[in-house]
Structure 1
Amino acid sequence: MQCQLWMGSLEPNMTESFIMAAFHRMGQRPLAVKVMRNKFTGEPAGYAFVHFQTDEESIDAMHKLNGKPIPGTFPVVRFRLNTASREARANMQTEREFSVWVGDLSPDVDDYSLYRVFAAKYNSIKTAKVILDSSGYTKGYGFVRFGNEEEQRNALYAMNGYTGLGSKPLKICTAVPKPKGAVTTPSSTPTTASATYSSGTGDQGAAAATQAPPVADAAQVAAAKAQSDELALVEHKRTIDVDLMNSEFLNPELSLWDSLEASQWFPHEVVEVH
């Protein structure tokens, strides 16, 4: 039960067998799929849990498939996957985050290719995510999350300008978690993303290592966290006081006419000239 993924954005006609077949067509072999249902109506709740043999298989599937079209869907529905075990969720909420923002990603870069490049150099990689727009196309940037701060700091310099992933050199800077209650503003790239660092040795290398790393703004991290599994309930029932609203609307108008009458002012069209 620990080796499982949460799968969201499901259509009502997506059954367990349909989802299982979709994973098989994408080269994955989950053990079981459980579509969750509303306990009152019995209707599909729009999400499911997909169980794998090992945690490694589930994480591998998540990075390979996230954002890719689900076979057999039209209009196209894309895989939306996340870790599902309680332990994984608890760890993600309590442990410190060591993440980097990765910019200048070309359209051919997906979660898995981003994950493979960083995982080949760093052992503590937790997740890699390319941010997509509402149509499923890449926005040109993503995030890589580390379990070790030292590796994250090393990646800021060693991976900045890296070539071999997509068609452009990578831009790397620190990703800072969004403070709770902060207001986000739209932004496609952090203002410090263009900063470059020396990879020299000796005094030059030491000087480069002491520079403050660039920081991605909170809006970028908010975009990554937009893949949240929980859905907030929106209150649609609102009591409307019609009398109060009418009163608020009419009072300024009545006050104007009362003032005009008190001033004994009349429009010149109705004043009789003798």
Structure 2
Amino acid sequence: MQCQLWMGSLEPNMTESFIMAAFLRMGQRPLAVKVMRNKFTGEPAGYAFVHFQTDEESVDAMHKLNGKPIPGTFPVVRFRLNTASREARANLQQEREFSVWVGDLSPDVDDYSLYRVFASKYSSIKTAKVILDSSGYTKGYGFVRFGNEEEQRNALYAMNGYTGLGNKPLKICTAVPKPKSALITQSATSTTTSASYSSGTEYSQYYDPSAYWQNYSAWSGYYGQGEPAPQPAPTADAAQAHAAAAAAAAAAAAKAQTDDLALVDHKTCIDIEQMNQEFLDPELSLWDSLESSKWFPPDLIEAH
């Protein structure tokens, strides 16, 4: 059957009539709802199929409702929707796909708003998905799937930094597939088949490059990325004072290094006052150099 949506994470008390009423309250008009049951026990299996008049209606409902609270649930249960046609899934896997990763998504961005922004600029958009965690909250990133490689490439630079979706500029990069070994390991750790539809794991074959963008942002304090403006060059007097200070400091450092390496004759008497005077002489010469350059702040000059 075509025009179907898979709906997961159902509570045992969610009947066909309850689900139908929830869709109607959200402005959608499904034709029928079928809650699937365990063929041995007869108990609800935790998922259902929702049938619509057309494929367009089913896809529209999926993007509008995915991740939103289901009316009449407390604690809140959110819509978990995905396409349900096996043939459509097989065809989708056979076709070449061109996807982009979209980062820095605000909590208010859902599947439908992400889809609308990209669909308004690119005609080959197939799906858009905001990735959610196990509690139904956004992870801050999602994926947009294109049917045209040229439009995907255009989006990589045209939509990078886009403002108008949420409260942050978007970060865009190519969705990089994981190696098959990683996918096998990931699928082996899945507990149930129905869980694969809950948070967009059809996109789990792609890496999440959030860490790359965080590292990229860490370079924002370097040259060309908002560094402080260069200070004006010092005056001639100030330059002379700096030169004198540097020379005095170098002499003091050389003397200190020489003194540290010198052998100490413990039989001789140590003249503390003389040693202190020798230590202070370079400091006094530095002060004399600064004083002779008249390199004082204006307020200090007025105070004197």
Fold similarity call, TM over 0.5? yes
Tell me by how many angstroms 1:90 deviates. 0.5
Tell me by how many angstroms 1:188 deviates. 6.9
1:234 corresponding residue in structure 2:
none
1:91 corresponding residue in structure 2:
91
Q: Percent identity?
A: 89
2:163 counterpart of 1:163: yes
Tell me by how many angstroms 1:108 deviates. 1.2
Larger Rg: 2
Q: 1:85-118: CA deviations, max 9, x gaps? A: 1221102222222110001111111111000000
Q: 1:190-230: CA deviations, max 9, x gaps? A: 4158879xxxxxxxxxxxxxxxxxxxxxxxxxxxxxxxxxx
Q: Distance in 2 between matches of 1:152 and 1:190?
A: 22
2:99 counterpart of 1:78: no
Q: Is the alpha carbon distance of 1:193 and 1:123 closer, same or farther for their aligned partners in structure 2, counting shifts above 3 Å?
A: farther
2:16 counterpart of 1:16: yes
Q: Is the alpha carbon distance of 1:194 and 1:114 closer, same or farther for their aligned partners in structure 2, counting shifts above 3 Å?
A: farther
Q: Distance in 2 between matches of 1:152 and 1:188?
A: 17
Q: Is the alpha carbon distance of 1:31 and 1:19 closer, same or farther for their aligned partners in structure 2, counting shifts above 3 Å?
A: same
Q: Distance in 2 between matches of 1:61 and 1:187?
A: 26
Q: How high is the TM-score relative to the length of structure 2?
A: 0.61
Q: Distance in 2 between matches of 1:193 and 1:160?
A: 15
Q: Distance in 1 between matches of 2:145 and 2:23?
A: 25
Q: How high is the TM-score relative to the length of structure 1?
A: 0.67
Tell me by how many angstroms 1:179 deviates. 2.2
Q: Is the alpha carbon distance of 1:121 and 1:195 closer, same or farther for their aligned partners in structure 2, counting shifts above 3 Å?
A: farther
Tell me by how many angstroms 1:47 deviates. 0.8
Q: Distance in 2 between matches of 1:79 and 1:6?
A: 10
Tell me by how many angstroms 1:37 deviates. 1.1
Q: Distance in 2 between matches of 1:187 and 1:144?
A: 13
Tell me by how many angstroms 1:120 deviates. 0.5
2:198 counterpart of 1:177: no
- Aligned residue identity for 1:92: L
SS in 1 for 2:143: strand
SS in 2 for 1:48: strand
Count of aligned residue pairs for this structure pair: 195
Q: Which runs of 5+ in 2 are unaligned?
A: 187-206, 218-304
1:253 corresponding residue in structure 2:
none
2:52 corresponding residue in structure 1:
52
CA contact 1:7–1:81 (8 Å) conserved in 2: yes
SS in 1 for 2:2: coil
CA contact 1:109–1:165 (8 Å) conserved in 2: yes
Q: Distance in 1 between matches of 2:208 and 2:30?
A: 37
> Comparing 12-21 with 35-44, which one deviates more in the overlay?
35-44
Q: Is the alpha carbon distance of 1:147 and 1:194 closer, same or farther for their aligned partners in structure 2, counting shifts above 3 Å?
A: farther
2:39 counterpart of 1:39: yes
SS in 2 for 1:128: strand
Residue 210 (structure 2) aligned to one of 189, 206, 226? 189
- Aligned residue identity for 2:110: D
Q: Distance in 2 between matches of 1:156 and 1:193?
A: 18
Q: Distance in 2 between matches of 1:13 and 1:84?
A: 22
SS in 2 for 1:191: helix
1:107 corresponding residue in structure 2:
107
2:118 corresponding residue in structure 1:
118
- Aligned residue identity for 1:126: K
CA contact 1:118–1:125 (8 Å) conserved in 2: yes
CA contact 1:103–1:193 (8 Å) conserved in 2: no
SS in 1 for 2:67: coil
- Aligned residue identity for 2:28: Q
Q: Distance in 2 between matches of 1:37 and 1:55?
A: 25
Tell me by how many angstroms 1:73 deviates. 1.1
RMSD: 2.0
CA contact 1:173–1:193 (8 Å) conserved in 2: no
